Amino acid sequence: MLHRDGIIVSVDDDTAAMFGYLATDLVGRPLREFIDETGGKAENGVAPCQHQAVGIRKDGTRFILDLISGCSCGARRQARAGQPMRVLVVEDDADTLHAVMKLLSLKGYVVSGAKDMKTALEMAHHGHFDLLLSDICLPDGTGWDLLVQLRGSRPIHAVAMSGLSDAEDIQRSASAGFAQHLVKPVPAERLDHALRST
């Protein structure tokens, strides 16, 4: 779903169908109105640069709504003009780390990988990255702790990619500063889109 200044300007058919709409019926609708209509309220609001809302339906159940912002902020703006985005991938599973790094390299990113929080902090200290893509459950800490420590020394955009899918975990990722929380497994195009829109 793409929105600009709180107005829905684009939505995919799958997202629309999830809420019982046709995609064409949602374009031009106020985002706040749509959130209220489908979920009762959005816990973390719908600010123009926010990427996900945790909603609570009237029956008390929760849902996650992706809100891909139409603004021009993000890691892609932080990357130097004409230069590829530099991504630090933190993932403790070696096979997953290798696969994600290979995928992102093929997509044109400059990629570095770390298997734990300690290594990631050392790499960030000696290098510069436009974006952090991190698992949440790491051998020596959490992705949430990692992002807090990284942001203590320099600004960095971040996307979480984890098997954790509870609304509370996704909300915690948002509170820690992650722009998005992707639940594994993540399709290649979905991952690429998330990084480019963060």
pLDDT in tens, 32-82: 777 777 655 555 444 444 555 556 566 666 666 655 544 444 444 445 556
Which of 56-70, 105-119, 133-147 has the lowest average pLDDT? 56-70
What is the residue extent of each domain of the chain? 2-69, 75-197
Judged by average pLDDT, the poorest of 22-36, 89-103, 171-185 is: 22-36
Q: Where are the alpha helices (DSSP H) in 107-142?
A: 117-126
Q: Which residue(s) pair with 124 in the sheet? A: none
CATH homologous superfamily of 75-197:
Response regulator (3.40.50.2300)
Tokens representing 122? Answer: 């050392």
**Residue pair 64/44 in contact by the 8 Å Cβ criterion:** no
The residue assigned the tokens 């939505």 is 11
C-beta of residue 54 within 8 angstroms of C-beta of residue 69: no
Angstrom distance (rounded) from CA 157 to CA 171: 17
* H-state helical runs in the chain: 13-18, 23-26, 31-39, 75-78, 94-106, 117-126, 143-151, 167-176, 188-197
Those residues with Cβ within 8 angstroms of residue 20's Cβ, 6 or more apart along the chain or in another chain: none
Q: Cα dist. 152→7, 72, 137 in Å?
A: 34, 24, 20
